[in-house]
Amino acid sequence: MKKLKLNTLERLLMSAKFLLQQGGFIQMLTAEGIKGKVKFSPEELDELELKDNPNGSVSWNYSKDREVEYEFTDSEVSILKKSMEELDQNKQITNDILSICIKVDKL
C-alpha cells in the first residue's frame, strides 16, 4: 500500500481530468475504485461548503481546505501511473493537474 495526500482541488480533478477515461475492463473498474476512495462524503461537502456555480465551476471555502491521506493498492498505483503516462504521452498535462502528477510520480 502506498499513501498519497490530496487536497480538495486535487480530489475534484482526480476524477474529472486525471484518471483514465477509457481502457480495459479491469483498468476501468480499478479507476472507478480510486474515484470511490477520493469522493466527498456528505459531511465533507457541508464542511467545505462545496457548491456548483452557474458557470459550471465548483467552489468551496478555501480556509477549510485540507489534505486527506489515502492508501492505494499496487494495482491502483499502477492505474494512477498509467493515467499520468497517458496524459504525458498525449501532452495533456495542464497546470491544474500538475500537482497530482508530481505526487503520483513519487509513488
For residue 84, name the pLDDT band (cuts at 50, 70, 90). very high
Task: Look at the chain and report how many structural domains it folds into.
Answer: 1
Of 21, 39, 40, the closest CA to residue 79 belongs to 21
- Position 15 scores a pLDDT of 86
Boundaries of domain holding 10:
2-105
Q: How far apart are CA 90 and CA 58, in angstroms?
A: 26
Give tens-digit pLDDT for 21-50.
Answer: 889 999 999 999 999 999 999 999 999 999
**Contact by Cβ (8 Å): 20, 66:** no
Terminal CA-CA length for the chain: 10
